[in-house]
Amino acid sequence: MNQRRKIRLFFTLLIAGVLLLFCLDLLLGSVLISPAKLIRSVGPDGEEYLRDILLVFRLPKALTAILVGSGLSLAGLMMQTLFRNPLAGPFVLGISSGASLGVAIFVMAAGIGGLSIIGMPFVGSLGLVGASMLGSVLVMMLVIAVSVRVNDSVSILIIGIMFGSITGAIVSVLEYFSDPDTVHSFLVWTFGSISGVTWNQFVIFAPIVVTGILFTLFMQKPLNALLLGENYARGIGVDVKRSRLWIILLTSVIAGGLTAFTGPIAFIGVAVPHLARNLLKSSDHRILIPATICIGSILMLCCDIISQMPGSNQVLPINSVTALFGAPVVIWVITRRKRRSLAN
Amino acid sequence: MNQDAILITEDLGIGYPKQGGKPYTVLSNLNLSVNRGQVVCILGRNGSGKSTLLRTLAGIQSALSGNVIIAQQKVNVNQQKHLARLMSVVLTEKVQVKNLSVYDLVSMGRYPHINWLGRMGNEDREKIREALHQVSLDDFRSRDVQELSDGELQRTMIAKALAQDTPLILLDEPTAHLDLPNRIETMLLLRELALETNKAVVLTTHDLDLALQTADCLWLIQPDRGIVAGEPHEMVLNGSFEASFESIKVVKDASGRGFRIQYPRIRK
């Protein structure tokens, strides 16, 4: 049972990593806060501005990073198992394209009609969230309606990609007819952002995403069975059609709920499941699900710290950071394993 | 009704439904039965409907007409969990999963018996250990499935079916992709399992020689005539066997008790 002890050690490290990075994410930013100051600021005689920075800005941001990291990674894991395709991710079903179509229509169609949404800050941010939510819900409902009728995972995958292409094309047409300023403000949304999340928004999407994640824990048996292929899964008593519907529903709820508030955050959802599989050397979802949650949180917290560029007033777009710093990590982990297994 | 019968088909019709048109029927009016402890080999040429029949029996695809009855209960394709306690399947699809051990794969056979958490009890672990022992893979439990040879993988899949602890096992071409010694060993293994555990084993195969020697009952799919069922020697003697396969002859083997396939003479 050496393997079991190794896995337990790994999880201890992962959880410690999440806690450590969570604290670091609170301390590091344009204003550097020392741990001593952090503890003092929570007390009654703490400095007002520090408490504001911590409670109003950094705490919702760090919590969002954890939800984004674990939620999108988990959604990616489910899609990769369902479609038995290592390139699948949380957005293969076209959820982020749906969200971006919603936002594009909201930002650019209004612009073409002579209205400047961006000029109205309150309506702007609320409308952005609403539009992106509407877009992802719409695509999600289309995909689910299709998957109820089509009893074939590959067809569902292709149809999801087609939905993505259609919405992408409509967005391009809108971009073509919009003025540069509007296009720019749309582009800023596509970069993704977790620092703009406020408590008011957090209390809306956190319960949705957490519920989705909790329900995913119930899916580990069908997910494991699906590794063997759909026919074998049926053979060991899994209702493939119903499981598939649940997997698609949960992925849509998690990915859609997050994308509405943070924009499309790429890369994490595809990469983290591979990291989990390679680091823990397992395909068992009883291990992979908690591992994906931990590794996703760690990676997203790291990316958030990097994107804040501690000590400076500049902020890098989170989407660039995830791929720029995450991709080499994934390449390193995968090639490291290959080398070791060749040596054996 | 025969009390020993574990599997019965009633006027079963198999094939593929077409949208908005007449379904494509492969075979119809099948009335077959399998007893506990029996090995049944389904024989027929490529495209004759062997796999279609096996998949229909396994509840993977729906019957066009008639019923499949297992352990006195009608099979309903939509009751997977219930079906999985009555029969286990070994298919031709190759399992390709990285980082999955033989033990983990075999333990999936326990899924119909355990709760959603996938927690195994002592009884489950004992069944898995026993299944691995029956296919002589005791020392393979922590081996990665991807590192197995085709023969070992086939035995692992049979162990998974054994761990599922069902009165009926269905196998689709279990000897395909195997070398001759492995084919013989696999068939002997299935034969022994049927004797020892009183399970019924139904399989499709192209190994006519092996089927003649190991099966209790043959289901011969004949072009245009449906399925003829019977004991192997009976099927040879009444000419059904040769009628199902053009270009082969069956002759008495050296001992005079069994049969073997005689191939047409090959000019070199």
Question: At B218, which helix (H) or strand (E)?
Answer: strand B217-222
**Phi first, then psi: what are they for B74, rounded to 5°?**
-70, 135
Spell out which residues of chain A touch residue B164, defining contact as CB-CB under 8 Å: 236
Does B141 lie in the same domain as B114?
Answer: yes
Q: Kindly report, residue by residue over A77-98, the tens digit of the pLDDT.
A: 999 999 888 888 888 888 888 8
Contact indicator for A128, A134 with CB cutoff of 8 Å: no
SS3 assignment, position B11: strand
Distance (Å, whole) CA A260 – CA A169: 20
Check whether residue B209 and residue B252 sit in a common domain: yes
Task: Tell me which chain B residues have a C-beta less than 8 angstroms from the C-beta of A286.
Answer: 118
Which domain-ending residue is among B136, B165, B194? B165
Q: Which residue has the tokens 């069975």?
A: A225
Residues with Cβ within 8 Å of residue A88, at least 6 apart in sequence: A76, A79, A80, A82, A157, A270
Q: B148 and B256, same structural domain?
A: no
Contacts of B241 (CB under 8 A, 6+ apart): B212, B218, B220, B235, B250
pLDDT tens-place string over residues A44-87: 666 777 788 888 888 999 999 999 999 999 999 999 999 888 88
Reported as a pLDDT band with limits 50, 70 and 90, residue A343 is: very low
Chain B residues whose beta carbon lies within 8 Å of the beta carbon of residue A288: none
B69 and B151 share one domain: no
Q: How far is CA A300 from the centre of its chain?
A: 9
B193 and B246, same domain (yes or no): yes
Residue identified by tokens 């009926």 is: B168
Cβ-defined contact of B95 to A224 (cutoff 8 Å): no
Q: How far is B253 from chain A (nearest CA, A)?
A: 39
Tell me: do B71 and B172 sit in the same domain. yes
Note whether B16 and B101 are same-domain residues. no
Per-residue pLDDT of B118-127, as tens digits, reads 788 899 999 9
**B112–A237 CB contact, under 8 Å:** yes
Interface membership of A3 toward B (CB under 8 Å): yes
B138 and B56, same structural domain?
A: no
Whether residue B21 is found in the same domain as residue B82: yes
Give whole-number Cα distances, A136 to A105, A118, A172, B66, B179, in Å.
Answer: 13, 21, 18, 45, 53
> Touching check for A224 and chain B: CB below 8 Å?
yes
Confidence of residue A338 (pLDDT cuts 50, 70, 90): low
pTM beyond 0.80: yes
Between the alpha carbon of residue A240 and those of residues A60, A69, A293, A335, B184, the distances in Å are 38, 28, 25, 34, 34
- Indicate which CATH number applies to the domain containing B38: 3.40.50.300
Looking at B131, B165, B199, the residue that finishes a domain is B165
Q: Which pLDDT value is given to residue A30?
A: 77
Residues B2 and B29 in one domain: yes
- Does the beta-carbon distance from A229 to B89 stay under 8 Å? no
Q: Which of B165, B196, B226 is the last residue of a domain?
A: B165
Q: A117: pLDDT confidence band, cut at 50, 70 and 90? A: low
B60 touches chain A (CB under 8 A): yes
Task: Quick: pLDDT tens for B232-260.
Answer: 888 888 888 888 887 778 877 777 777 87
Q: What is the number of structural domains in chain B?
A: 2
Tally of residues, chain B: 268
Question: Is the domain A3-343 a CATH 1.10.3470.10 member?
Answer: yes
Interface list for A 272-331 with B (CB within 8 A): 277, 281-284, 286
Q: Which domain holds residue B47?
A: 1-86+167-268
| Residue A43 CB neighbours (<10 A) | 8
A145 Cβ under 8 Å from any chain B Cβ? no
| Chain B nearest CA to A43, separation (Å) | 43
Question: Per the CB < 8 Å rule, is A232 touching B59?
Answer: no
Q: Is A231 within 8 Å of B93 when comparing Cβ atoms?
A: yes
Are B89 and A228 a contacting pair at CB < 8 A? Answer: no
Mean pLDDT of A227-246: 91
Q: Of A232, A240, A286, which has the smallest distance from its Cβ to B91's Cβ?
A: A232
